[in-house]
Amino acid sequence: MSLLSFENLSIALPTGADRPLAVENVSFTLDAGEILCIVGESGSGKSMSANALMGLLPEGVTPASGRILFEDRNLLDLSEREMMSLRGREISMIFQEPLSALNPLMRIGDQIVEVFETHGRLTPPERRKRALELMHEVGLPDPDATIRAYPFQLSGGQRQRVVIAMALALEPKVLVADEPTTALDVTTQAQILALIDTLRRERGMAVLFITHDFSVVADIADRVIVMQSGEVVEAGTADKVLLDPTHAYTRALLDAIPRLSFHDSVPHDDEAAPILRVQDLSMTFRTRTSGIFAKPRVVKAVQNASFQLQKGETIGIVGESGSGKSTLGRCLVRLLTPQNGTVEIGGKDIAKINGDALHQHRRRIQMIFQDPYSSLNPRARIGTILTEGLIAYGSDKKAARTRAQELLTLVGLDPSAMTRFPHEFSGGQRQRVGIARALALDPEVIIADEAVSALDVSIQAQVLDLLAELKERLDLSMIFITHDLRVAAQVCDRIIVMQRGEMVEFGPCAQVLGDPQTAYTRSLLDAIPGKAHERALAAQREATP
Amino acid sequence: MFGFIAARLVTAVFILLGIVVLNFILIHAAPGDPAAVMAGEAGAADEKFLADLRTQFGLDQPFTVQLWNYVSGVIQLDLGFSYRQQMPVAQLIWDRLPATLLLTSTAFVISIVIGVIAGVLAAQMQGTWWDTVISTVALLFYATPLFWVALMASLVFSVFLGWLPGFGYETIGANYTGLARVLDIGTHLILPASTLGLFFTAIYMRMTRASMLEVSRLDFVKTARAKGLRSSVIQRRHILRNALLPVITLAGLQAGQIVGGAVLTETVFAWPGIGRLMFEAINQRDYNVILGVFFISAAMVLLFNLITDLLYGVVDPRIRLTS
């Protein structure tokens, strides 16, 4: 008898949703000490299944049929009170966003202690002691100080450790992890995955791990189920599903993962005049927190960055969050004014110019943003979004509209999209609109800031293909900012590695990623999940002629 | 923290001076001649008498000299002399200020306490019949003109039912002392304070309700549920505390407005505060009194804003610990 089993579970969506059932006839089992991964893209029903297990389905969403058996009890039959005593004690959950998963106004220690208090365990001093032990166990630095800290004082990875500590407090039998590493840097992700793996081995805990990332699956899963549009399309052991998938959707998802393999970049003529020349660029943030005598906080976001971008070239900027890569990008498009250094585009330094002079040059360098949801004005039609820039630069309305329609065709959307609003499009389509907007002014340089990070892998692959195609067709020069080394390997000719505001490594893609010179770059490469799987895959390819 | 308060106080002094100058200019740009009003009341409106009055009160001097005299007086806390009441303005305001502070602070507490409780209830019963009732009643008080609510309250509870006194600060001629006096003032306070307070309740109710609903959708609330916490604990400990942050901001801004509302309430209920003093001063073109009341209410708004900022630091560690 399995510890946990889903038997033909169906979950109904409220009327008016895009489909009647969020989850349809899902069955699987989970044993003690096992990690089962549920893989799927947005809307596949994987999170809904987890929420149903916790009894935390959103309002209006209800289980329609089937059973969830936990130690022979059907959880769907339990009252809210019974579920409450089960949550946190027998079944715990950790979430995707460590930044928002903790109450910002409560101390870390109090939030952990609350778990014991709620379930009436231990005396107050014992609770505190146990909280310290847990914090130590999940690898939080200096537990004695951290127990008094507030969430905002910790990094993303540390916060996720706190959430894990809370989830483990009462030694639950099942841990549900809903995309627990998606919002984290690769190095932090590797640490959290290792922690989850250690905990299940030491405690014999069963883990239901939900993710969209097959590389993560390859690293930790014992068994895998793949979900698409609410249904299980494939299930099996990790090796079987990853190396010998039977369903077309699984294959498509596996194929969409960018591989850490680099193309031989076209050698660029360094003698030719570069299209963008950045020299000694520095950006320091000083935040005056309060008081006239208080010392301002100084963050050196970018220090002495220098590089040249040749026409038709793509330079990748990689690094962890806080490494200064986005600040550098923002300085290049002059959303920020750098303190020092020059940004020459076509021989003209735009680092310090303002007003009209800046307006003249803005169109030469354009940006694609990370979040396709918040980077488009929700109250503006696509036509307005695309023509706004053109009209601001003196184009007449009719010509601007014609150009906007051409751009939509160019990025693979129907020109009829002009009259629609951003919310009518999917994430991938919105990012296409974002690309069309960046291209509208015929810029000489495009800055893509994590342009595919918020997208599902299959959509990500499509957008990357589009960018590659546009680059070829329009001879675009691009700065590609990303935290994902595999994506960088796929699209970049040269790569800049940034750490704490400094360029620690810069060179051709194959050299930086193939033969890294600094420990930092090596640590980034080591942290990439799914490398063992890639090797297995390569071996499999060699074996089959 | 000390540096923060010092910096804010220094800024506040400059803002106050700016307000004093601006008010002085605005009042003198408005039509109406105080000398003519005084002469009219004295029953002698010939040119000589007017000129004498102007000389007596410095109204014949150039505008800039008048401005300078006034501002340098204010710096020494001399708010000028009331022509009408024949008293220093500072003295007049000082006598009336306690009554106004009592009224506005009681109304303020009423509006926040009732507003927040109603907002929490409405959020918990979102979409139900109760939610609609609470919202409608609160908005009714907000949408109805304050003076009308005041008049009706006075009519119903004082004139018809005779439950509560309908005007004044205390029973004239009763000469109560000690606890009896406190109770007397308290019963006089009920009608004006509730009228003024209920008017502002709707704002806090709406804000609390919206804020509660917004916070309840945040991830940490889901974390709390996943820990197995009871709904009442989640509401109180996790949702309400976070939801109160925007309510505090609003309260800081409203604290200034409530002084404005006090003008109407004090007039209707004959409450001897600075609101009624201002109403009378405007009717009588008593410039110095008007300016003095403006000055005091501006100082109160600045003070409330400072308190709000400090309170924010107490409630939100992100503000307290980064400063």
In B, minimum Cα distance to A178 occurs at B223
Decide if A135 contacts A143 (C-beta within 8 A).
yes
A287: exposed, middle or buried (C-beta count within 10 Å: 0-12, 13-18, 19+)? Answer: exposed
**CB-based contact A85 B322, cutoff 8 Å:** no
Count the neighbouring beta carbons within 10 Å of the beta carbon of residue B269: 28
In A, minimum Cα distance to B322 occurs at A289
Q: A32: which 2 tokens?
A: 């003690």
A452: exposed, middle or buried (C-beta count within 10 Å: 0-12, 13-18, 19+)? Answer: buried
- Tell me the per-residue pLDDT of A390-442, one tens digit each, with 9 for 90 and over: 998 888 999 999 999 999 988 888 888 888 888 888 778 888 899 999 989 88
| Alpha helices, H only, A60-181 | 80-86, 108-118, 124-137, 143-146, 156-168
Please name the residues between 88 and 107 in chain B that touch chain A, using a CB distance below 8 Å: none
SS3 content of chain B, % helix, strand, coil (to 5): 80, 0, 20
Q: Is B320 on the interface with A (CB under 8 A)?
A: no
Q: B26: which 2 tokens?
A: 């605005």
**Residue A343 is inside which H or E element, if any?**
strand A340-345
Count the neighbouring beta carbons within 10 Å of the beta carbon of residue A206: 23
Q: Is B229 on the interface with A (CB under 8 A)?
A: yes
Decide if B234 contacts B123 (C-beta within 8 A).
no
Please name the residues between 161 and 190 in chain A that touch chain B, using a CB distance below 8 Å: 163, 166-167
Tell me, what's the pLDDT at B1?
Answer: 64
> Average per-residue pLDDT in chain A?
86
* Mean pLDDT, residues A62-81 taken together: 90
CA A297 to CA B31: how far, in whole Å? 53
Q: B296: which 2 tokens?
A: 């005091």
CA B304 to CA B244: how far, in whole Å? 17
Look-up: residue for tokens 């999209």?
A417
Residue A279 backbone dihedrals phi, psi, to 5 degrees: -130, 120
pLDDT in tens, chain B (323 residues): 677 778 778 888 888 889 888 988 888 877 767 777 777 766 666 777 778 877 877 777 888 888 888 888 888 888 888 877 788 888 888 888 888 888 888 989 999 999 999 999 999 888 889 989 988 888 888 888 877 888 888 888 888 887 888 777 877 777 778 888 888 888 888 888 888 888 888 889 999 999 999 998 888 998 899 888 988 889 988 999 899 988 988 888 887 777 777 888 888 888 888 888 888 888 877 888 888 888 888 888 888 888 888 888 788 887 777 65
Range of weakest confidence among A258-262, A535-539, B82-86: A258-262
Q: Is A486 on the interface with B (CB under 8 A)?
A: no
A304: exposed, middle or buried (C-beta count within 10 Å: 0-12, 13-18, 19+)? Answer: middle
Count the neighbouring beta carbons within 10 Å of the beta carbon of residue B255: 20
Strands A477-482 and A445-449: parallel
**CB-based contact B317 A105, cutoff 8 Å:** yes
Q: Is B236 on the interface with A (CB under 8 A)?
A: no
Residue A197 backbone dihedrals phi, psi, to 5 degrees: -65, -45
Tell me, what's the pLDDT at A481?
Answer: 92
Residue A297 scores a pLDDT above 70: no
pTM above 0.80, yes or no: no
Sign of CA dihedral B102, B107, B110, B116: negative
CA A192 to CA A183: how far, in whole Å? 12
**CB-based contact B223 A163, cutoff 8 Å:** yes
Decide if A478 contacts A253 (C-beta within 8 A).
no
Residue A287 backbone dihedrals phi, psi, to 5 degrees: -110, 115
Residue A74 scores a pLDDT above 70: yes
Q: A75: which 2 tokens?
A: 């959880």
| Alpha helices, H only, B43-128 | 47-56, 63-75, 89-124
- List CB contacts of A296: < 8 A, sequence separation 6 or more: A286, A287, A288, A289
**CB-based contact A102 B223, cutoff 8 Å:** yes
Strands A4-12 and A231-237: unpaired
Residue A498 scores a pLDDT above 70: yes
| Residue B150, CA distances (Å) to B61, B98, B169, B265, B275 in order | 43, 21, 15, 7, 15
At residue B248, what is the residue type? Answer: I
In A, minimum Cα distance to B10 occurs at A292
CA A327 to CA A303: how far, in whole Å? 11
CA A457 to CA A81: how far, in whole Å? 40
**CB-based contact A92 B226, cutoff 8 Å:** yes
In B, minimum Cα distance to A59 occurs at B217
* Mean pLDDT, residues A464-492 taken together: 88
Set of chain A residues whose Cβ sits within 8 Å of the Cβ of B233: 118
Q: Is B224 on the interface with A (CB under 8 A)?
A: yes
Helix, strand or coil, per DSSP, at residue A348: strand
Q: A486: which 2 tokens?
A: 């595999």
| Residue A456, CA distances (Å) to A159, A463, A466, B161 in order | 24, 10, 15, 70
Residue A322 φ/ψ region, left for φ over 0, alpha for ψ in the -120 to 50 degree band, beta for the rest: left
Q: Residue B226's closest CA among A294, A417, A95, A7?
A: A95
* E strand segments, A13-153: 21-30, 35-39, 62-70, 73-74, 91-94
* Mean pLDDT, residues A199-223 taken together: 89
Tell me, what's the pLDDT at B146?
Answer: 78
Q: Is A87 on the interface with B (CB under 8 A)?
A: yes
Tell me, what's the pLDDT at A291?
Answer: 47
- Tell me the per-residue pLDDT of A32-43, one tens digit each, with 9 for 90 and over: 999 999 998 887
Tell me, what's the pLDDT at B318?
Answer: 79
B66: exposed, middle or buried (C-beta count within 10 Å: 0-12, 13-18, 19+)? Answer: middle
Using 50, 70 and 90 to split pLDDT, how confident is the model at A270?
low
- Angle of helix A248-256 relative to helix A457-474, nearest 10 degrees, comes to 50
Set of chain A residues whose Cβ sits within 8 Å of the Cβ of B241: 103, 105
What's A412's DSSP letter?
Answer: T
Q: Name which of A119, A152, A163 is nearest B318 (Cβ-Cβ).
A: A152
Tell me, what's the pLDDT at A266?
Answer: 59
* Mean pLDDT, residues A320-339 taken together: 88
**Residue A255 is inside which H or E element, if any?**
helix A248-256
A95: exposed, middle or buried (C-beta count within 10 Å: 0-12, 13-18, 19+)? Answer: buried
**Residue A254 is inside which H or E element, if any?**
helix A248-256
CA A442 to CA A439: how far, in whole Å? 5
| Residue B101, CA distances (Å) to A434, B96, B189, B232 in order | 56, 9, 12, 36
Decide if A496 contacts A503 (C-beta within 8 A).
yes
Tell me, what's the pLDDT at A496?
Answer: 94
Residue A81 scores a pLDDT above 70: yes
